[in-house]
Amino acid sequence: MTLDRRTLLTGTAVFGVAAAFGFWPAQADINRNGTYKLSDAEWRKKLPGQSYDVLRHAATERPFTSPLLEEHRKGTFVCLGCDQKLYDSATKYDSHTGWPSFWQPLPKAIGTSKDDELGYDRTEVHCARCLGHLGHVFDDGPKPTGLRYCMNGVAMKFVPA
C-alpha cells in the first residue's frame, strides 16, 4: 500500500478526532527530556488536596501522619504524580522523624535543588520526571550512604513486589 497525501491527511484527522473525544489513550505531555508536564488545573484534578499542595507547591505534611511510615513490605515507592519509581523498599528505614525515610533513591529517579526558604540551606528532593516536590535530603542518615531522604508520604504511593 502506498501512502499518499489523502491517506495521510485522513488518518491524521481520524486520530485527531479520536483523541479529542477521548477514544485515544490519555497521555500526559512527556517531553523529549523525559519530564512529565500537566497544567496546574490538570494537576489539581489528578492529585488529592494535600498531595497537590506537597507535590506542586512544596508544602510539608504533618509528621507521623503518613500510612507509608508503617509500610514494611517488599516493593517500590513511586511518585503519586507520575508513577516514577523512586525508592526500593530495601532502602527504607525508621529515622524517628515522622516521615518515610530512605538511604538511597533508585538511579535517575530524583533531582535535587537548593532550598533556603526557612532561612538556612537545605537540599530539596524532587521527582526527576514530573519535578514534583518530594521532601529533603540530609547528611545524617545510616550507612552505606550516610544520607537521609526524608520524604512526604502523600507525595508517594507503595507498589508491593
Active site residue 150: yes
Please report where in the chains the cell 538511604 appears, as a residue. Answer: 103
Phi/psi for 49 (5° steps) reads -40, -60
Grid cell, residue 140, equals 545524617
Q: DSSP code of 73?
A: S
Write the DSSP string, 103-118: S-PPTT-EEEEEE-TT
Residues catalogued as catalytic: 150
